[in-house]
Structure 1
Amino acid sequence: MKINYLLIIIIMLCLNTNILVAQDTSNTVAIIEPALSTVVILEIDGMACQEGCADKIASNLNETEGVISAKVSFKDKKGVIVFHPNLVSIEDLKSKITNTKVKDYVYTINSVTIKEKN
């Protein structure tokens, strides 16, 4: 009889151990290598103000897949964009700017300067 109890306890212990080992580990943190990013400065003509034109262009850029951040200044007539070149190209960014619609304004890109690569 003692052997039966001992056998049952051993089986229960083994089952318990399997359950503990098989627990969900979805809340573990994975370390992901940062992707290479590029910073580009675009000189933009055609903006009439900060609140309408520049902010709308920045908003459109920030909604673009691959763009990490975009800041556009009416005062400086420039946009500074940090992006993943594997996901979006400079040509895509330029197109996003020139296709932005605020009233009848037409935006043009005068120069492109790649500032740095990480």
Structure 2
Amino acid sequence: MLTLSVMLGIVQIIAASHTESLQRGYRWTASPRDEQVEPLRGVAGRLNRALRNFVETFPLFAAVVLVAHVTDTHNALTEWGARLYFWGRVVYVLLYAAGVPLVRSLVWNVATIGIVLIVGALLLS
């Protein structure tokens, strides 16, 4: 699931970058980007915010997964935690891109619970 989560991050980077370039124009993309710009709107803004959120949560997920691996802590909690994180993040970015409120926040909690489950497995081992 760690590798799949890295791949998800790469897809999010590409999607956010591409939609931003479409909104701002490729001339801006190729520029040094020194000037102030308007905030991104619509899908481009939502994908950018979803990416920022991924960047906030992924280091925590990666850290606990790597600690679980190094300490040979592999059980149902770590497996479910990793799956909840990955699939929660997949659904989260899709809901965010579509502009779905509330449910998106609930799904964010699913991914976060995944991290908590792995932490719990580490504490119980």
- Provide the TM-score with structure 1 as the length reference: 0.27
Where is the helix percentage greater, Structure 1 or Structure 2? 2
Which structure is higher in RCO with an 8 Å CA cutoff and minimum separation 6? 1
Where is the strand percentage greater, Structure 1 or Structure 2? 1
- Provide the TM-score with structure 2 as the length reference: 0.26
